[in-house]
Each structure stands twice: as C-alpha cells, then as structure tokens.
Amino acid sequence: MPRCNCIKGFVPGNPQERSLNNSFTECLRKTQLSCSGDGFSLMRKMKLPATTGAIVDKRIGVKECEEKCINNCNCTAFANTNIQDGGSGCVIWTSELTDIRSYADAGQDLYVR
C-alpha cells in the first residue's frame, strides 16, 4: 500500500491509526480559517479533489477564481477547470478536500487556503 501524507498545513486526524498500518483516513487543518488574512499554498502537479459539492464557473479565469475564493469564508481551495492554452474556468471547494494526489509529471495547480 502506498504511503499517504497530509498536504502542507494539515496533520493526520488520528495518529494512532497511522502507527498501526502506516496509513490514515483523514487529515485535519492545523489552524482554522479566519476569513481575513488567509493566503493560498500552490500545489503543482496534483490530482484535483473530488468535486462533489464544489462550485464551478466556466466563464472566469484563475485570478477571478482566487477573488471569489477569498470572498467566500467557506472556500478551502480553488483551481482552473481547463489548463490547456492558459486555461479558463474555476472550481471552488467549500468542504473537505478528498482524494488528492500528487503526480510526478502531470496534474494541475491546486491553490489550498
């Protein structure tokens, strides 16, 4: 089984679970979002989180997407929906980020709050 790690700013939700089989089911945010002054960590070459319940707007680019995320206190992350030729479109996550993976060669940019 491949080893899982939490992304920057998150810790394993149940450390005992990890010691049993070197894996865990969830990561929890180290610090709560404050809705003002939060920044974003850019994660490159990622498999984007599951989009169940995500907000999608195909008409805007990454800068407008960032602004929408900053103005939504529940926003946890955002990304472009179309990465070809500079990309356009926006996905905003407002809940837990599930099924994230990093790739060696491909993947998309994910901005985590």
Average pLDDT value for residue range 41-60 = 93
- Which residue pairs, CB below 8 angstroms and at least 24 apart, start in 24-29? 26/96
* Distance (Å, whole) CA 41 – CA 76: 11
Is the pLDDT at 63 greater than 80? The verdict is: yes
Q: What's the token pair of residue 63?
A: 């800068």
Contact 103, 89 (CB under 8 A): no
Q: What pLDDT is recorded for position 1? A: 47
Average pLDDT value for residue range 70-83 = 90
Residue 60 identity (one-letter amino acid): I
pLDDT band at 5; cut points 50, 70, 90: confident
Contact 110, 51 (CB under 8 A): no
Q: What pLDDT is recorded for position 8? A: 85
* Distance (Å, whole) CA 97 – CA 65: 17
Tell me if the pTM is above 0.85.
Answer: no
